[in-house]
Structures are given as C-alpha cells and as structure tokens.
Amino acid sequence: MVYNQRLSIYLFLLVLSLALFLTSCGTQTTNAADMQISDGANVLNINRVKTGANDLSRSIAIFTTSTFTFEQSMPTWITDANQKENYRKSLLPTEFDTHTKDYMGDHKTDIAIGIDVQDRYISIQSVDNVPLSNKEAKEAVGIFGTNFANNDYTTALLATLKDLRTVISTNENAQFWHGVWNVLEWIGIVAVLILISVMSKIFGWSSSNRNGRYYHHHHSSDSGGSSSSSSSSSDSGSSGGGAGGFF
C-alpha cells in the first residue's frame, strides 16, 4: 500500500515535470511586438524605423522631442546665461530618463527610447521582465552616438535597435534554455526516485532493513547540500535596465 502511494506521487511529479517542460518549450516566440512611434521633432524616417523595430520580441515606444522642459530651481548665485545652461544640462539626464520611463508606463510598452533633439540626449528604458541590463542599455546608447552623423537620427536609431534586438534575443534564449535545464533536472530526480522505488519493491528493500548506522549516515549526508541554491542571486540587475547619454 505504501509502495503504491509512493509510486503514485512520483508518477504525478514526473507528469508535472513533463508538463512544465512542454510549457517552457512553448513560451519562446518570435512574433513581432507592438511598436509606437511619435516623431515630434520630425527627424526620423518612420517607415525605416518601423522596419528596424519590427523584429523586436518586446513592445517598444519611440519618441523624439525638440521642446523638452522641466521645472528647476535655479540657484540665485547663477546669473550668467552659460552657467544657467550648464546647470540645466546637469539636471537633464535624471529628468529625461524619468520622463522616458513615464512615457513607457503611459504607453504600456516593454521598452521606450526617447530622443531629445534640442539637447542631443537619448534615453533607453525597459520594464523589469526585459532581459536587458543597465550596462547593455548603456552600450546601446553609445552605439547611437557612434552612428550619429550629419543629423541622421534614423541611421543612428536603426543601429541602436539592431543592437537591442540582438542582445535581448540572446538573453531570452539563454533564459529559455536555463529554464529547460532546470525542468530536465527535476525530471531526472523524479525518474531516479521512481527507479529506486521500483527496485525496492523488486528486491524487497524496506525501512526495517536499515540499521541505525545507515540512517545516521544518510541523515548527515543530507545536511550540507543547499549551498548552490543562492546562485540565482548573481543575475540581479540583469533585466529591466536603462541608461541615457548625450551624443
């Protein structure tokens, strides 16, 4: 009776593991995601940008502006016009990055790219479930600046979109196979338990055959095997990244 109950539990776990495996295999999609483009500064070739963003697996909002303003308390000791402008630009990154994040939230997309034409500043932001780190977002910002020439915002943006597409796709694939491997590990563990259960039935193994010395050894060996469970913490900060920079 106990054997049958144990075997039923193991079989249930095996079926559950297989279901998780099949589910994880079905989560990887390559469908084009939603995109929203607002070229307020009139500097983009919209059709080319749409083509460049078409293969992204995540929804994206892109906007340009030449009239970005924000509230600021100018220190009374700053009276020179150049000093005022430098002070404003020192505040701009934080303000425009926040504005881009808010734009992403308002338009309910996974990624947002904001371009301030007046100040020549670009911000790339993403939500938490996008596999994009701050470092990778910063590199995408740098690619925009590297490819920006002759006021050609479209070419620079296309290069940035290509980089984002490659990075996100690579990271998504890595996450996918990591999940598959975890499920396969569970399947292997359950299969071993089933094998042990069947063999114990065939050869007549039972708990009554185990002496105290065996139980003590078995119990002590289980006490030190959880050190690897915290390894996932190393992935902290590898998603939901964002960055900005002047170009």
Distances (CA, A) of 130 to 101, 133, 214: 14, 9, 49
Beta strand pairing call for 111-116 and 121-126: antiparallel
Q: What is the pLDDT of residue 224?
A: 43
How does DSSP assign the chain, residue by residue?
-HHHHHHHHHHHHHHHHHHHHHHHHTS---PPPPEEEEETT--S-HHHHHHHHTT-SS-EEEEEES---------TT--SHHHHHHHHHHHHHHHHHHHHHHHHHHTT-SEEEEEETTTTEEEEEE-TTS---HHHHHHHHHHHHHH--TT-HHHHHHHHHHHHHHHHHHHHHHHHHHHHHHHHHHHHHHHHHHHHHHHHHHHT--GGG--HHHHHHHHHHTTT--GGGGGGGGGTTSSS-EEEEE-
Q: What is the pLDDT of residue 87?
A: 95
Residue 124 is encoded by which pair of tokens? 């790339």
φ and ψ at residue 90, rounded to 5 degrees: -70, -25
Q: What is the pLDDT of residue 171?
A: 93
3 state SS for 138-179: HHHHHHHHHHCCCCCHHHHHHHHHHHHHHHHHHHHHHHHHHH
How does DSSP assign 54-84, residue by residue?
TT-SS-EEEEEES---------TT--SHHHH
The number of beta carbons lying within 10 Å of the beta carbon of residue 61 is 23
The number of beta carbons lying within 10 Å of the beta carbon of residue 9 is 14
Q: What is the pLDDT of residue 189?
A: 74
For the chain of 247 residues, list the mean pLDDT of each consecutive stretch of 10: 60 63 50 84 98 95 96 88 94 98 98 98 97 98 98 98 97 67 64 69 59 47 40 55 98
